[in-house]
Amino acid sequence: MHDARALIEMGAEAVRRLARRGYSLDLSELESLQSRRNQNIRSADELRAESKRVASEVQQTAKQGGDISKLKERAREIKEQVRDIEAGQEEIEAQLRDLLLSIPNLPDDSAPDGDSEEFAIEIRRVGTPPAFPFEPKDHVDLGEATGILDFGRATKLSGPRFAVSRGAGAALERALATLFLDIHTRRHGYTEYAVPYLVTRKTMTGTGQLPKFEEDLFKTGVADRELFLIPTAEVPLTNLYADEVIPPAELPLAFTAHTPCFRSEAGSYGRDTRGLIRQHQFAKVEMVKIVDPETADAELEEMVGHAEACLKELGLAYRVIKLPAGDTGFSAQLTYDIEVWIPSQNTYREISSVSNFGTFQARRANIRTRGEGGKPKLVATLNGSGLPVGRTLAALLEQCQQQDGSIVLPESLFPYLGFRRISADGTPEA
């Protein structure tokens, strides 16, 4: 969310920057709403001041035995005028808020121009994609052949875009999540949280999922409460400090959580319908940071490294790209995507997005710290996947497959699994 005054002061610069991400800012509409809001506030203040004067005159005239009927009539008129202005003010405030909530974050100037991944800048490649002396299978065929994944029964239970894992597959999912949590908490200093999976409309609005992306969410309720299933742990983790002022000495704050994520994937039908890449429910380990805005750029680079550490630990080949302004998420000002190599597709696919939101989410959620002289100021927020379990499992099965149909697992997972190999029939082998 933006400060209306700041956007108006930026003027053409705000229009230019938002145009880079395909958003057309109607500056005249914003200026009109802000002007009407300010005029109403002034008018109401003037009438309240007059009301005080009239009230004083009523008392003085009554003491002197004078006629106060006209003064009382004026007092009633003022009261009605203030009530009318306040009603109009509520409507203007709602219109202004709705407009501001619909305006995406200003993209960082370092983000390249363009509106799709083809305009992204590749930052680095790590690891060498495996070369197979055979035609590599995709993770669906591998999972079903070994019996560790069952998409047919998942469809029977819930319909398409769900998965069931069993045996070594279920153990592997649990091991991956625990490995990622250990990396973030023991090496990188994140505090692990267990958070609710159902949150309020206000909480969803704080991180920018609402109102724009309501069709992508699953909505439910408890008694008379409207609740939404979280699309990512970013939502509850970031909002932990909503409406609070964080002492500067406590910054930066770093959180992580392993949660299920629920997404309707509205508008994405026909894309990635096979396997674990795009599902309605999936597990993910998330990283969130709340920091001083002055350190946010450095924190972003560090957080990218934290996500990469998970892939390095597994020995998976991947690359890092910087997204163009037009392909950056609604709330983000700058995003790095980490893409893992998927042999069956002969390409890199996104496995983590790490973003700096600047003060955008903090303004929506009212998360502040204190600056010079103890004056409250907005914090900056960042988040990134570290990592999604399903997509990691898909990449792991495909990059580690053997010609006989078995899967040789990274040594780093042995302490969590107790086995190093999944045979072609799904049997765990030490």
C-beta of residue 287 within 8 angstroms of C-beta of residue 307: yes
Per-residue pLDDT of the chain (430 residues; tens, 9 = 90+): 899 999 999 999 999 999 999 999 999 999 999 999 999 999 999 999 999 999 899 888 888 888 888 898 999 999 999 999 989 999 999 999 999 999 999 999 999 999 999 999 999 999 999 999 999 999 999 999 999 999 999 999 999 999 999 999 999 999 999 999 999 999 999 999 999 999 999 999 999 999 999 999 999 988 889 999 999 999 999 999 999 999 999 999 999 999 999 999 865 555 677 899 999 999 999 999 999 999 999 999 999 999 999 999 999 999 999 999 999 999 999 999 999 999 999 999 999 999 999 999 999 999 999 999 999 999 999 999 999 999 999 999 999 999 999 999 999 999 999 999 999 999 999 9
Q: Known binder of ligand: residue 385? A: yes
Catalytic annotation, residues = 263, 278, 350, 353, 391
The C-alpha angle 362, 204, 272, rounded to 5 degrees, equals 115
Q: Known binder of ligand: residue 350? A: yes
d(CA 299, CA 356): 9
Q: Specify the DSSP class assigned to residue 224.
A: T
In the chain, CATH 3.30.930.10 sits at 117-429
User: What class is the 117-429 domain?
Assistant: alpha beta
Q: Known binder of ligand: residue 263? A: yes
The token duo for 294 is: 């002055």
Distance of CA 309 to the CA centre of its chain: 21
The CATH H-level (homologous superfamily) assignment of domain 4-102 is: Serine-tRNA synthetase, tRNA binding domain (1.10.287.40)
Q: Specify the DSSP class assigned to residue 185.
A: I
Pairing type for strands 367-370 and 244-245 reads parallel
Q: Known binder of ligand: residue 111? A: no
Q: Known binder of ligand: residue 352? A: yes
In the chain, CATH 1.10.287.40 sits at 4-102
Provide the whole-model pTM: 0.92
> 346: alpha, beta or left, given left = phi > 0 and alpha = psi -120 to 50?
left
Q: Please measure the distance between the N-terminal and C-terminal CA atoms of the chain and give it in whole angstroms.
A: 53
